[in-house]
Amino acid sequence: MLIRGLQRATDERAHADAANATAPDDAQETIFDKILRREIPARVRRDGLTQLALAEERHEPILGHLLYAAKRVAREQQLDRGFRIVINDGLDGCQSVFHLHVHLLGGRTLGWPPG
């Protein structure tokens, strides 16, 4: 599980702008690059879906699996009082890692509205 401290929305936007200014292949290496090179064990599904806005009906099974996997991680992390799932999608959504993934937030009361 990857854990990063919560950041202000302006920080997230700056991070996304910087990431979007470079091609995904030229971006700074992330843990996901290590997973793809099999340096870190993982089950990887390669269907090329980079953001939710680009999903098609054929992606429905993997999207359902993604949400169910998040639920399993929440249970493993003992987030039984509740959690939030976030998908950063596109530039205005502050997406800075160019594959579809979820952020699982929990362990404390989360405010609304977010960001």
* Of 76, 62, 77, 87, residue with least CA distance to 107: 77
4 pLDDT more than 70: no
Domains of the chain with CATH codes? 9-106 (3.30.428.10)
Is 101 one of the annotated active-site residues of the chain? yes
The per-residue pLDDT for range 83-115, each reduced to its tens digit, is 999 999 999 999 988 888 999 999 999 999 886
pLDDT at residue 2 in the model: 47
The per-residue pLDDT for range 17-68, each reduced to its tens digit, is 777 676 555 567 877 788 878 898 887 666 678 899 999 999 999 999 999 9
pLDDT at residue 9 in the model: 56
Residue of 15, 59, 99, 101 marked active site:
101
Phi then psi dihedrals of residue 6, to 5 deg: -70, 140
- In this prediction the pTM is 0.67
